[in-house]
Chains A and B, each alone.
Chain A
């Protein structure tokens, strides 16, 4: 079978060609930047690894919008020390193998200065090993799982923005304690996100004098919760804590009506609420936990929302856009102070960060229980009142009282 031989030979040649092709791109761009240095500085490349397709794609796009807004503003103001900022986006497709491949490409082929991005914990967990191997500056927005924090312990070049899950829990618990309710039921999605929260509540609620009378897991995306709700109803819980993904929120709340279950308070903490959720009748009175809402009075936030809406003709979808914005602004400010290619100086510059973020609080990096550089550490609790998200806890930031 002559054909087989020819084909296999072609394949072999093809692979070899790919190998050679893969190592040449560095040459042309080096030459280009050498000749261009007199005229303009080469752009500073940053890498952003996000889920741009798939079910988390919308949030990933929201993050990308945040990055792009910042890039536009930074470059309009002259860039970083005269050089333009350029972000190379890679889609991790919510798949660990793809994420690792993208990481490798950004770090080894594109040779970015700083790696940004990150949303899902499972993806971040797969990136621990490649990240430690590459050891380049990493300003990471996502992943709340404690396992990730433990994995990155001791890596000084790692800066983490989003609160860890135990910090999420602390914020939530403080709010829960402030309510008059003693008996809680927890309904959670059965993935890492929900189960992590539930495991936390099991110990922390009793520790602050409240009782966990019922815990129910469900599979996200299932459209039916009536069976589960019947059981919760008979458990005697006065308050309901819900840890879902966005798509489960409305079906769940609607079915609560169907089984006639009306707890004194419903506290939901999805990574983001469905769009226009506030307009639906089931939203009234629902409380939640968030890093940020578009309505908070902080001036930096108002400016961000205005700029964002002007550029994209719609409001930010979730707090992730504001978080991404904060991410790149702080990472590039540090680069401006340290210059490119100087990791130690970048780390020092990041440590000195004190940035009035659109999220509200001023961002500073402080040690958490395991890592050295943690950004945001607490969240706020809000309640929907007449279609608006009113912050109800902590009192220092509250815009309304809990009903």
Chain B
């Protein structure tokens, strides 16, 4: 039982990254209504931007201890803008023409894009997984009952900050209100004079930017490879569905639930680490059966 505080802490810390990854997906799904199979690849590309930045800052520029915070401070806006532009381009050239087609066709399109991006990256940048030897991955911060790497803390803080900033944007700003209006009733929004196509493009770009930010933070946790996106996608989807379509605040709670559940199961169930993923899906399945619309509030 002495591991309980640490289990709780780590569960909470984990949920930060989950929430950020899922939020982007929730936005594209909720506002545009498209199932974006390439979302994981946006995360992956963001990670590569972060990794490239790490190489640049630690190599030729030799900035030493400043590298870790700089990767975050520069990497997030940089990858966010880069992926926003990429996503906007994807929206204009491939997604928009397909929006009037059935859902399945859109799914197929994003699935094709996903294959393109994964393999394109693998061919141009190499399939080899790479590690960023960032200081913050190794330096620990002692809390008494547990030690945490700076990386773990930073990932949580940054992700939650971005999630909260997104919420503020969605609730308070004019753009946010437009997005929510479109999510609720597309036709009604058009009648009221909202430029739906522009909102769609911004929403898609924003979802990619959030994903890219999550990718940059992933560089602090794991190896960077073209296949990074695949696992991320499954979990993000599950969280979004668990929260319920269109329920953006639910994403935060669903992420927390899953982060804690994962950590708890790993710690307390014998053989838990191996069972963890399986149990993840059992939980999803059970919740969906009990509440067919997700955890709607």
Contacts and interface: CB of A to CB of B under 8 A. Distances in A.
14 contacts: A61-B126, A190-B274, A219-B277, A222-B277, A227-B266, A228-B273, A230-B6, A246-B129, A250-B131, A254-B138, A257-B138, A257-B140, A275-B128, A281-B138
B177 interface: no
B147 interface: yes
A276 B122 contact: no
B269 to A, nearest CB: 9
A393 to B, nearest CB: 26
A250 B223 contact: yes
A232 B278 CA distance: 22
Interface residues of B, number: 40
A223 B222 contact: yes
Interface string B114-134: 000001001000111111010
Given A224-B14, A230-B267, A257-B149, A275 B130 contact: yes
Contacts of B146: 258-259
A247 B226 CA distance: 13
Given A219-B276, A219-B277, A258-B149, A57 B127 contact: yes
A394 interface: no
A369 interface: no
A222 B129 contact: no
A53 interface: yes
A219 B273 contact: yes
A223 B277 CA distance: 12
B273 A247 contact: no
A313 B214 CA distance: 33
A226 interface: yes
Contacts of A96: none
Nearest to B270: A231
B225 A276 contact: no
Given A57-B122, A217-B273, A257-B138, A274 B3 contact: no
B249 interface: no
B79 interface: no
Contacts of B277: 219, 222
A130 interface: no
Closest 7 CB pairs of A and B: A227-B266, A227-B267, A57-B127, A58-B128, A218-B273, A217-B274, A190-B274
A55 B225 CA distance: 8
Contact of B263 (A55, A58, A61, A227): A227
Given A217-B274, A228-B266, A258-B146, A280 B131 contact: yes
B222 A280 contact: no
A250 B263 CA distance: 19
B147 to A, nearest CB: 5
Contacts of A227: 3, 7, 10, 263, 266-268, 272-273
B128 A280 contact: no
Contact of B127 (A61, A230, A255, A281): A61
A260 interface: yes
B111 interface: no
A257 B147 contact: yes
Given A54-B227, A58-B128, 8 more contacts: A216-B273, A224-B263, A224-B266, A251-B221, A257-B149, A258-B146, A258-B147, A281-B133
Contacts of B221: 223, 251
A247 B119 contact: no
A166 interface: no
Contacts of A221: 231
Contacts of A216: 273
Contact of A218 (B6, B133, B151, B274): B274
Contacts of A230: 3, 6, 267
B197 to A, nearest CB: 36
Interface string B253-293: 00000000011001110011110110000000000000000
Interface string A45-64: 00000000111011001000
A125 interface: no
A225 interface: yes
A233 B222 CA distance: 23
A64 to B, nearest CB: 12
Contacts of A281: 133, 138
B140 A258 contact: yes
A61 B226 CA distance: 15
A275 B14 CA distance: 26
Nearest to B127: A57
Nearest to A61: B127
Contacts of A176: none
A260 B3 CA distance: 13
A217 B271 contact: yes
Contacts of A57: 122, 127
